[in-house]
Structure 1
Amino acid sequence: MVESMDNNGKSAKKPKLKINKKKMARSLCILAVLIYIIRISWIHFWVNKYDKLIYPGVKVEGIKLSGKTNEEAVAALKRNYVNEIFKKNIVIKIEDKVYTINYSKLNINYNIEDTVKDAFKYGKDKGTINDKYKIIRSAKEKQFSLKYNYDKKEIEDTVSKIQQQFDKKPVDAKITKDKDDEFKITAEKDGQEVDKDKLIKDIDAGISNKAIKDVVVNASLKKVQPSAKKSDLQKIDTKISSFTTNFASSSDSRVNNINVAAKALDGTTIMPKEKFSFNSIVGERTEKRGYQAATVIVGDKLESGLGGGVCQVSSTLHNAVVRAGITPTERDHHNIPVSYVGLGMDATVDYGNIDYKFKNTLDYPIYIECIVKDKDITFNIYSNSKLNDKTYDLVNSVKTANKGNKTICTAKAYKVTYVDGKEVSRQEINSDDYVK
């Protein structure tokens, strides 16, 4: 008890303050419940508010979509992004030229609706109501990107146009023989070409960066080396093989055809690892090319056809090539024997059907010389003198057998290798059957 003095100097007792603990506890509980109800109501209010709206902080390609419905978000993206993006240009610079492609020509399609759906689902498709409220309150930025596809035709057409203006084919060094049998070599020239793969890649990278500003790309040129260089052709310094056949009994038209084909082949240069195709060089045997009708072998019969006699050219070349140490990669034989080479040593050709091919397996380029003189056709193969440590020959072995009413000759052909005049190897390169 607390005492105090009254006006008369007498002490008086103050009444003690009494606290009803039960009432206080009840009041606190009621207050807590009210706060909880208010908080829950507040959370429900915001979560319900954004139930049909996109959550705060959500952006698509930097465009704010917070508080928008699906339809409003789609409209905003079309208005503020897609319509602006179509004003963009792809600017290609190369040397002093500039090429421009407007985005409207690319027919770009963006997956706006699908992206907006994903943006709308953000925060709504998982978690409790409290989790959703936390996302709404935090307004943490969430970026979504548009996917796209576009028609590349306009870009490809523009790149093709650039290539046509800037690409320059290299010029190979060329070797010829003059009247004095001396080799003359003209130097090569480098070419150039647009680095197409890099250019297309850079353009695509620029488009994938979906900023509103123009895509500026610098196209580059790369040097193209010629396949034949003067320094390589200077290594041709000697004859490494030769072979001759005679066509004295040929008709005038057959002689003509031999001359036309021989002229096409004369001076052919083949670099190491390069492939040779008879038909590719000689071309189709047509009247326009100067060929005439002459006797040709069709199956096991003789008929008249354009280009008769060309097979003697290919057969003569074949014998010279093998004697240079090169084995053909594609070669076929006639069905009946021919008079100008031995069995198993011929090489028939028929444009579009049968070709004669080989790959230069030597370490040096070869030069093919074809001379037609006095009813003889001669192929000389020239290359480097270091190859003369070996020489080669083409020989055959023939066996004859009767089958039914026909005589069949089986001929095996061998490439024979000599070192210092002594045989060191014998390789079978073909086995052929002929009807005799």
Structure 2
Amino acid sequence: MDKNRARRIRERRNRKIVYGLLLLAALLTVGILYSLARSIRSKDSDSSQLVTDSKDRETASEKALVSARIGQTNLSGLTVKEAKDTMEERYQWGMTVTDGTDSVVIDDSISGQLEKILKQLSEAPPDQPQDYQLDYDSMKEAFKKQAETLAKRWNKDGVNSEVESFDPKTGAYSYTKEQNGRVLDQEKLVTQLLAAAKEENFQAEIPAEFTLKAPERTQVQAKEQYKVIGTFTTKTTTNKNRNQNISLAVGAINGLVLKPGEEFSFNNATGNRTSEKGYQPAGAYRNGVLIEEPGGGVCQVSTTLYHAIIESGFKTTERNSHSFAPSYVEKGQDAMVSFDGYAGPDLKFVNTGNASVVLRASLEGTTLKISIVGIPVLEDGVKVTIRSEKVKDLNPLPVTYEENTALPFGTEKVVDKGTLGGYYKSYRVLTKGGTVIKEEPLHNSSYKGKPEVIQRNTTLKPEETVQETHTEAESSLAPAEDQSETHEAENVGPGVTGANVQ
């Protein structure tokens, strides 16, 4: 009995727990459903409000603007959309400037302003009066920058007159005709652009106006200003072939015109010095050895020109010294050239002046003269010369002996004292009124030495040998000894036989 009661009590208690859990679950479910319902109602409400607001704005944009104006353009009675279309059509940008041949579209300076104005039109109530003006001050600044850019593009300096040719036959110079330049009237252009903008003529084509800019040198002035700006003279030898070569090189460069910025090349000007061109064999050094070859002597032309270049105020871009120092100019002041039709040591310089120059060259007798005619590049009164100094001597070369049987036996004669090789440093010296105002390194040169040449006779002459044989034979009584002495006499002198005595 007690067991049944206890069982019933446990069953009632379990049922209560189950009922409680079911009730709790039901309450939780109701709460969740309630929250979801509120959230949905809230979203529906917000969505409804957005739709309402959108409809209100759409209604507002569709309403006519009661009073609206941009500059001279009246937008009253138009919707915002119609106002936008009107603005895009009315303010379409295409303003250009022309110099007569070249047309340039000016940068758009109103699109940004129109976007801001349209935004304000759409946000303001349609019945609110609206009056907008373009910012002409900012447009003016933009036009100024455009004018500066166009000035750099279109401005032209005047073209100065300069020599264009020289006729060696007549000695006449020909000069180019000067040309006027032009300068863009930037202030006038800005005024024209701004006026067109204020008139809302954004498709206007503005003709640029210029003022003339006279050149610095007219043809008449050029004829007065051109003069010899550098000249140098050297003396040639009486060697006919050598002077023929010099004359051909002179003819190749005489009258040559060099424009500003142009580089002169002696080798290009004369070309390859060949016998086909009339160049004759004459003394020249090749790899330090004196030989006879066509064109020998033209280095005197390049050297003479080199000095004229320096005196004119120009600087060489290539200059080379000889293997052996020439005698027609001071050591350290020569300019060696050589050309095989493709390459070789050259003499070059660039016309760094602002006008063309003419090379003048002549050979009269043994006088070689080369000048440069042009507009002075040096300051008035300034002169340029070359100063060279020996830096170091090379060691003397061994003496060269030559056999000369015409000399008395056992004697010597110096026929060439030889020269010492050495290193030289040259300077470009600028003076004014006899006073050195500047001195700067020009170039370095090195020359090989020549050995001293001595002639001597270490061999008896044939007649001296015969006379000595007869004398010794007369003092001898034995014929066989005479023959023996004769052979000895013939062999007088170390290593020399009778057959070598000529």
TM-score, reference length from structure 2: 0.41
- The TM-score normalised by the length of structure 1 is 0.47
Higher relative contact order (CA 8 A, sep 6+): 1
Greater fraction of residues in helix: 2
